[in-house]
Amino acid sequence: MPDRADPAGIVAAHLDAWNAPEGPVRDGAVGAVYTDDVFVGEPDVAHRGHEGMSRAIAALHVQVPGVVISRSGPIGTAQDLVTYAWTLGADGGPAVASGRDVLLVRDGRVSALYVLVDPAADQG
């Protein structure tokens, strides 16, 4: 696992958790990367705790089978805030969505994740 003491390590570990297949690897990553009381704020739903994080990840994998999330821009930081742009799509396929994650970090672990999804290009 990348070093979570630096922003790049935290982002890499976070993306590894979201890209992991369902099972013990993902469960272990969720436990290692996120605080017990982690908050997940998505556009239409909010989750709390490791169970909520696991539900959020599982829902994405159901919605986009074979999904891969990739960082698509530089990492920005301010105090305990880490942010970066991302794209997602099926492994080897074109991106079907893009956006930005905002992470709040406490003691080297993610305590909050806010997911901002870019509007579709055809929505103007």
Least Cα distance to 100 among 80, 72, 79 occurs for 72
Coil/strand/helix, residue 34 = strand
User: What is the average per-residue pLDDT within 34-57?
Assistant: 97
Separate counts of helices (H) and strands (E) for the chain: 3, 7
CA 34 to chain centroid, in Å, comes to: 10
Maximum CA extent, the chain? 41
Query: Is residue 124 scored above 50 in pLDDT?
Result: no
Give the tens place of pLDDT for each residue, 75-101.
Answer: 999 999 999 999 999 888 899 999 999
Query: Is residue 29 scored above 70 in pLDDT?
Result: yes
Q: Which domains occur in the chain, in start order?
A: 7-123 (3.10.450.50)
Query: Is residue 14 scored above 60 in pLDDT?
Result: yes
d(CA 1, CA 32): 10
111, with CB counted inside 10 A (0-12, 13-18, 19+), is: middle
The torsion angle over the Cα atoms of residues 47, 68, 15 and 88, rounded to 10 degrees, is -70
The pLDDT, as a whole number, for residue 3 is: 46
